[in-house]
Amino acid sequence: MTEATAQSSRVLIGKTAIITGGASGIGLAIARAFATQGASAFIVDQNEQAARTEAQKIRASGGVADAAACDVSDWQSVQRVFGSIFQRGPVHLLVNCAGVAHVGTVGNTNEEDFDRIMRINVRGMYLCVRAVVESMKNQGGGVILNMASIAAIAGLPDRFAYSTSKGAVLAMTYSVARDYLNHNIRCNAISPARVHTPFVDGFVAKNYPGREAEMMEELGRAQPIGRMAEPEEVASLAVWLCSDEASFVTGANYPLDGGFVNLRG
């Protein structure tokens, strides 16, 4: 393969992407994949040091990346960070990965925890979409990709607040896709099942000390395919959905679930 052919095969060349929650887990895998595919990746995360470290690693590998600290639930923070990125040029892609999890039923989820989940997972996504959508409209189009969850479409035990927030993410996705259909802005969602991220490792280590291997196997078996997804698998789907190869796809939700929704016994 010639260098010119290799360049042309990278499907995101010339695109600028903002990835929220991009300093770890799924967001980081997407930032790396986007940079590999030729995009300029802006890692936006509340953990500024981690975001800058990961952006530096991408640059060291030959990609284009930068980082900024942002509280996605705060409009002033979003305006400041996104505004500084807009000053450098148009933003073509927004991937909303920033979010937090919660374990509990409606009966034992207190108001503070419920409000925190909704503030970050729903308000945070709304603010980030709001920050880019008019700019995308004025520049002739763009792509918004929201990270939902199978918790939005399947009844999961002890995930009341989290499931509620991800259901809102799906509704938001469909609404934005419809409202901006005539402005060449595509908006889609990915709904992963359990993904093997550092969050999962930390959760298992904290709650099941000495039983880590056993619990990881159990978590993997919850998916009919027999394992958890890897962040890179989510990133591969994100690359396609944000590329021109998916130009006919909008208002869609893609379960990436190892058969969880449709193949459970």
Note whether 184 and 86 are same-domain residues: yes
Enumerate residues 6+ apart whose C-beta is below 8 A from 202.
none
Q: How many CB atoms lie within 10 A of CB 134?
A: 11
Domains of the chain: total = 2
Asked if residue 83 is part of any domain, the answer here is: yes
- Answer whether residue 202 is part of any domain: yes
| 162 and 213 co-located in one domain | no
Tell me whether residue 254 is one of the annotated catalytic residues: no
pLDDT of residue 18: 98
Task: Indicate whether 148 pLDDT > 80.
Answer: yes
Structure-block tokens of residue 265 = 């016994």
CA distances 67 to 33, 185, 226, 254, Å, are 16, 24, 36, 28
Higher pLDDT, 250 or 264: 250
Same domain, 99 and 217: no
Angle at 11 between CA 7 and CA 15, to 5 degrees: 95
Lowest mean pLDDT among 196-205, 220-229, 244-253: 196-205
| pTM across the whole model | 0.94
Q: Is residue 48 part of a domain?
A: yes
| Same domain assignment for residues 185 and 138 | yes
Dist CA 241 CA 146 (whole Å): 11
Q: Where are the alpha helices (H) located in the chain, listed in sequence order?
A: 3-8, 25-36, 48-60, 75-86, 111-118, 124-139, 160-179, 198-207, 212-221, 231-242, 260-263
CA 33 – CA 39 distance, rounded (Å):
9
Tokens of 153: 């479409």
In the block, tokens 């359990």 appear at 194
* Mean pLDDT for the chain overall: 94
Percent of the chain with pLDDT over 90: 87
The alpha carbon torsion through 139, 143, 146, 150 (nearest 10 deg) reads 160
- Mean pLDDT calculated for residue range 154-183: 96
Determine which of 8-12, 40-44, 226-230 has the lowest per-residue pLDDT on average.
Answer: 8-12
pLDDT tens digits for range 131-146? 999 999 999 999 999 9
Is 265 part of any domain? no
Q: Please indicate, yes or no, whether residues 19 and 121 belong to a single structural domain of this protein.
A: yes
Mark whether 73 and 54 lie in a shared domain: yes
pLDDT on residue 7:
53
- 3 pLDDT higher than 60: no
Of the residues 162, 174, 180, 254, which is catalytic?
162
The domain in which residue 201 lies consists of 195-228
- pLDDT tens, residue by residue, 41-85: 999 999 999 999 999 999 999 999 999 999 999 999 999 999 999
Residues 63 and 133 in one domain: yes
